[in-house]
Amino acid sequence: MDISFIRENVKKENYDLSMHAHQERQEEQITINEIEKILLNGDIIEMYSNDPRGKSCLVAGKIADIPLHIVCGKRENKLLIVTVYRPKQPTWKDYKTRTKEVKSRV
C-alpha cells in the first residue's frame, strides 16, 4: 500500500467505502468530495502492516484548515476506505501526531 496506489484508484473511481466508513462519514458530515481531496493530496502518516483485515494505512490532510483522517486498505485490486474521521484530542496532539498512550495506574 502506497500513496501512488491510493491516488491512482481515486482518480479512476476504483474504490469502495466500508459500511463503517459510510456511517462515520454521515455522523461527522464528511463528503465524498472531501475524502477524495484528502486521498489525492494528503500524506500517509501511519502504516498498519499487522492489521488483521490486511495491510492498511492512515492518510491525513486538511481541507479549509479542517483535518481529516482516512484509513485505507486494499480489497482485490480496489482501494477500500475502511473509516474516515476528524482527529481529536486526547488521541491526537495535532492532525499528524498521535499523543503517547498513558497507561493507567493500578
| C-alpha span between 37 and 14 (Å, rounded) | 15
The C-alpha atoms of residue 81 and residue 43 are separated, in whole angstroms, by 15
pLDDT digits (tens, 9 = 90+) for 81-96: 999 999 988 888 888 8
* Amino acid type, 4: S
> Considering the entire predicted model, what is its pTM?
0.88
- 65 φ, ψ (degrees, to nearest 5): 65, 15
Question: Strand 15-17 to strand 78-85: parallel, antiparallel, or no bridges (unpaired)?
Answer: parallel
The pLDDT of residue 104: 36
User: What are the structural domains of the chain?
Assistant: 3-97 (3.30.2310.40)
Give the model's pLDDT for residue 90. Answer: 86
CA distance 69 to 85: 5
Neighbours of 52 (CB within 10 A): 5
pLDDT 10s digits, 49-105: 887 778 999 999 999 999 999 999 998 899 999 999 999 888 888 888 888 754 433
Pick the more confident residue, 40 or 99. 40
